[in-house]
Amino acid sequence: MLVSVDWLKDHLTDPDIVILDSRPKTMFLYGHLPNSQSLSIDQVIRFDEFGSNLVIEQEKIVKLFGSLGIDESKTVLLIGDAMDPSVARIVWTFLYFGHEKTCLLNANASDLQKHGLKFTRQTLIQKPRKFTPKINNDIRIESDFLKRHLSDFEILDARSPQEFMSGHLPNSKLIPFSEGIGYNGNLFRDKKFLDELFLQNNVSKDKEIVCYCMHGHRASNLFLQLKIAGFDNVKLYDGSFVEWNGKKLPLE
């Protein structure tokens, strides 16, 4: 899933690679990789009555991803910055809609010029393609199911200690997403560090794991950290605390 800057340099002009820049649109317009397109977090979420950032409707994803030139033959490479978890949420969205050829650059997009890569302000327009979704329900969970099966899951809260202390889902365990990111210019700490992090927090690979935060973005980052560490049974609760609290479900 993770690729290096050297890998990016080797594939920068590969016609089978679609490079998507997850930074805010204004940053993208100020300068970006020549073969990249903008895809920001607001394009892949929808809001409910509570303000939750839920996964976008399938028909909108088909249109959006197709307009970016993505079909099953293309490898998608996402780039972003370590302290902005929205890139992880976009990666999760691709995985949820079944695009297994999804990679994430393990380096800060804002640092790429330091690695000798050139930026441009010119806009790339891809030839539209037909994107065919294959929903992966194994990596998402909804509140109605979660509230009935709380004891069946290892529930991880990716927020800050202050947020956690102000109220959290029952039986949840605090592991701030920030503990596993941003080291030596990488988006994530290495597998050895993440293995130790989850071991210290007694996170078991024998139990299904649910990640949540406030809106689902930081939880998506924690989701990827768990995947890097070799955890297979991980789900995102994209409704997260905003939806749970909005529905007046139990808190601790």
For the chain, list the domains and their CATH numbers.
2-136 (3.40.250.10), 138-246 (3.40.250.10)
Tell which residue, 224, 33, 217, 19, has the closest CA to residue 111.
33
Distance separating alpha carbons of residues 237 and 122, to the nearest angstrom: 37
Average pLDDT over residues 88-110: 97
| Residue 228 Cα distances to 110, 115, 127, 137, angstroms | 23, 24, 33, 20
* Residues 141, 163: Cα–Cα separation, whole Å: 22
Which of the four pLDDT bands, split at 50, 70 and 90, describes residue 184?
confident
Residue pLDDT, tens place only, 128-154: 999 999 999 999 999 999 999 999 999
Which residues fall within 8 angstroms of residue 123, CB to CB, at 6 or more apart? none
- pLDDT of residue 165 exceeding 90, the answer is yes
**pLDDT the model gives residue 182:** 86
Percent of residues, the chain, with pLDDT higher than 70 = 100
Report the pLDDT value the prediction gives residue 178, as an integer from 0 to 100.
97
Measured CA to CA, the distance from residue 92 to residue 44 in angstroms comes to 10
CA 139 to chain centre: 12
- 11 Cβ neighbours under 8 A, 6+ residues apart: 17, 77
* Rounded to 5°, angle at Cα 163 from 189 and 199: 35
Segment 221-240 shows an average pLDDT of: 97
Report the pLDDT value the prediction gives residue 104, as an integer from 0 to 100: 98
Does residue 76 surpass a pLDDT of 90? yes
CA angle 133, 136, 139 (to 5 degrees): 140
Region 66-77: mean pLDDT is 97
Residue 28 carries which side chain, given as an amino acid letter?
F
Across the range 98-112, mean pLDDT stands at 96
User: Radius of gyration of the chain from Cα atoms?
Assistant: 18
Write down how long the chain is.
252
pTM for this structure? Answer: 0.97
Tell me the average pLDDT across 221-227: 98
The average confidence (pLDDT) of the chain is 96
User: Which residues contact residue 114 at a Cβ distance below 8 angstroms, ignoring those fewer than 6 apart?
Assistant: none
pLDDT the model gives residue 142: 98
What confidence tier does 125 reach under pLDDT thresholds 50, 70, 90? confident
**Gap between the Cα atoms of 75 and 53, Å rounded:** 26
Above 90 in pLDDT, residue 183?
no
- pLDDT at residue 50 is higher than 90: yes
